[in-house]
């Protein structure tokens, strides 16, 4: 007759399972990186909201100026480049915290098993983007990106045991779905909502910490 498993044995088994998952996926590094990038989420959200306001004002105030679109494109490129530099700086800081060189840390952070989770979703997204451009529905690209982001976040439950991660994923799936269904003529407003959600997400990470491994 099978003996019942006691609490201590259950904790030991769970610890072994988590260590195995960590070795095969690098989840510990990913969890640590998410926890330490709350300020980046807040910054990206604030800059994005400001960018949406500037974009809206420029199109409203100077709709026919030939310089409007290049200036807008330059502004968004600068925002993306700046936040990208901050993110890479975060990679270097965390690699030093783990006493690793940058490449070793990055390999642990972006383990092949993690790519196996989101690469098929990303490829499906690229196909959809090409389709939207081909049929002239480019305004659906941003909401679709948000849906895909939600799917990827939700699928991270493979690596983390935390219902907040699932809720965050479902939120972005629903937000992207709302963008596809109801924001055809208000893309800038939708983008502002997405950027605002990043600020809220970063604030919640500051208050409650990251996701549990």
Query: pTM of whole model > 0.85?
Result: no
At 77-104, the pLDDT tens digits run: 999 999 999 988 888 888 888 888 888 8
Contact between residue 44 and residue 195 where contact means Cβ atoms under 8 Å apart: yes
- The residue to which tokens 């959809």 are assigned: 128
Note the pLDDT of residue 24. Answer: 46
Note the pLDDT of residue 54. Answer: 93
Note the pLDDT of residue 5. Answer: 58
Note the pLDDT of residue 143. Answer: 93
Backbone dihedral angles phi then psi of residue 13, each to the nearest 5 degrees: -65, -40
Note the pLDDT of residue 193. Answer: 95
Mean pLDDT of the chain: 80
Note the pLDDT of residue 197. Answer: 94
Structure token pair of residue 21: 């998952």
pLDDT above 70 for 111: no
Radius of gyration of the chain (CA): 20
At 30-83, the pLDDT tens digits run: 767 777 778 889 999 999 999 999 999 998 888 878 888 899 999 999 999 999
pLDDT above 90 for 17: no
CA dihedral 200→205→210→211, nearest 10 degrees, is: -30
At 152-182, the pLDDT tens digits run: 888 776 666 667 778 888 999 999 999 999 9
């Amino acid at each position: 007759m099978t003996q019942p498993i006691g609490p201590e044995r259950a904790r030991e088994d769970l610890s072994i399972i988590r260590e195995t998952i960590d070795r095969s996926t690098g989840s510990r590094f990913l969890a640590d990186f998410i926890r330490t990038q709350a300020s980046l989420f807040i910054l990206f959200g604030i800059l994005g909201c400001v960018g949406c306001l500037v974009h809206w004002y420029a199109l409203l105030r100077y709709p026919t100026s030939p310089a409007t679109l290049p200036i807008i494109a330059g502004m968004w490129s600068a925002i993306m480049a700046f936040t990208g530099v901050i993110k890479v700086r975060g990679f270097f800081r965390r690699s030093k915290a783990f006493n690793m060189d940058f490449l070793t840390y990055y390999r642990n952070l972006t383990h092949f098993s993690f790519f196996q989770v989101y690469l098929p979703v990303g490829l499906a997204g690229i196909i959809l983007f090409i389709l939207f451009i081909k049929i002239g529905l480019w305004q659906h690209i941003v909401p679709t990106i948000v849906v895909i982001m939600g799917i990827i976040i939700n699928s991270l439950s493979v690596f983390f045991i935390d219902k907040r991660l699932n809720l965050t994923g479902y939120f972005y799936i629903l937000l992207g779905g709302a963008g596809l269904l109801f924001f055809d003529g208000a893309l800038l407003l939708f983008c502002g909502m997405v950027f605002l959600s990043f600020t809220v997400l970063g604030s919640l990470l500051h208050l409650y910490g990251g996701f549990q491994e």
